[in-house]
Amino acid sequence: MARIIGGLGTTHVPSIGKAIAERKQNDPYWKPFFDGFHFVHRWLAREKPDVAVVFYNDHGLNFFLDKLPTFAVGAANEYRNEDEGWGIPVSKSAAGIPNLSWHLIERLVADEFDVTICQDMLVDHAVTIPLSLMWPGEAPWPVRIVPVSINTVQHPLPSAARCFKLGQSIGRAIDTYEENLKVLVIGTGGLSHQLDGERAGFINKAFDQLCMDRLTNDPESLTRYSIPEIVEQAGAQGVEFLNWIAMRGALTGKVIEVHRNYHIPISNTAAATMVFDNQPAVLRGQHAA
């Protein structure tokens, strides 16, 4: 059976791609952020996930404001990136795993999530930057992915409660997939940031810390925030935290926070990285015996 080994949340700021291309990981500006990935690299080398389910938001590469699904799931063999206009190199492609995608889609629709099914899908920096951070180097990324896009861009957005339930539905679906796969669940974006308008540059450290603590100890409490409350507290783009809430919803076992890094700012964003171990119920049972 497939097994969810853990969850990871990370910021997806595009200029990270430029810093990687220019090998600036040890520059004073970038070091506190990139240093937060040393643990991640060791953890991934030990856990060796086969698959990553990635909750993210598209920023206008695959979907634009004219047609923007609330929830969309990729079911392609390959996900390409293209020039998004940020001045960073176009990323290599990510490999897909269509059979697992279709299984998740079947289970989601059975759970009354009427998702958009994408057999052809470009992925933007919200997918490629996290993968580049997690597996640096030239080789193909060692995981196949299922991209799950959540609309955090064009209001009305899905509620935090709905995103948590989306994650729970995907978590249950992974647990019932018959192939022997180790699955990592990723949520990208955030934490607090606002890129435009009167509050451009807005960051809220206290709220970010509350969100990270709650994600670990009491994720359901985050689902009581309304979208306007999250926008007020985290900024217009800080609402990308919905992707982290979905990731946390997908962790179906006993969840333990094993890593956290928080650094202000990277570009306009409060940059955060978190890793959670997910100990499956069956293993826990063996432990108790």
- Separation of CA 128 from chain center: 11
Name the residue nearer to Fe ion (CB basis): 17 or 189.
189
Q: For the chain, how far is it from start to end, CA to CA, in angstroms?
A: 22
Between residue 228 and residue 267, which ones bind ligand DHB under the rule CB under 6 A?
A: 237, 240, 267
Name the residue nearer to Fe ion (CB basis): 107 or 193.
193
**Among the listed residues 204, 269, 273, 278, the single contact to ligand DHB using CB under 6 A:** 269
Which partner from the list ligand DHB, Fe ion, none does 13 bind, CB cut-off 5 to 8 Å by kind? ligand DHB
191 part of the interface to ligand DHB, by CB under 6 A: no
* Beta partners for residue 284, in sequence order: none
Q: Is 44 exposed, middle or buried (0-12, 13-18, 19+ CB in 10 A)?
A: buried
Contact letters for Fe ion, residues 173-202 (x by CB under 5 A): ----------------x-------------
Least Å distance between CB 233 and Fe ion? 17
12 part of the interface to ligand DHB, by CB under 6 A: yes
62 part of the interface to ligand DHB, by CB under 6 A: no
Distance CA 247, CA 274 (A): 11
Catalytic residue among 103, 193, 263, 287: 193
Neighbours of 50 (CB within 10 A): 18
Least Å distance between CB 107 and ligand DHB? 29
Name the residue nearer to ligand DHB (CB basis): 121 or 173.
121
> Which tokens is 217 given?
């100890």
Per-residue DSSP letter, 116? E
Cα-based distances in Å from 201 to 30, 156, 193, 211, 267: 18, 23, 6, 19, 9
Distance CA 54, CA 146 (A): 6
Residue 155 among the catalytic residues: no
> Which tokens is 67 given?
């047609």
* Stated length of the chain: 289
Residue 125 among the catalytic residues: yes
**Among the listed residues 9, 14, 235, 253, the single contact to ligand DHB using CB under 6 A:** 14
Whether 170 and 53 have beta carbons less than 8 Å apart is answered as yes
Q: Which parts of this chain interact with ligand DHB (CB under 6 A)?
A: 12-14, 59, 189, 193, 195, 237, 240, 267-269
Task: Give the residue numbers annotated as catalytic, written as ranges.
Answer: 125, 193
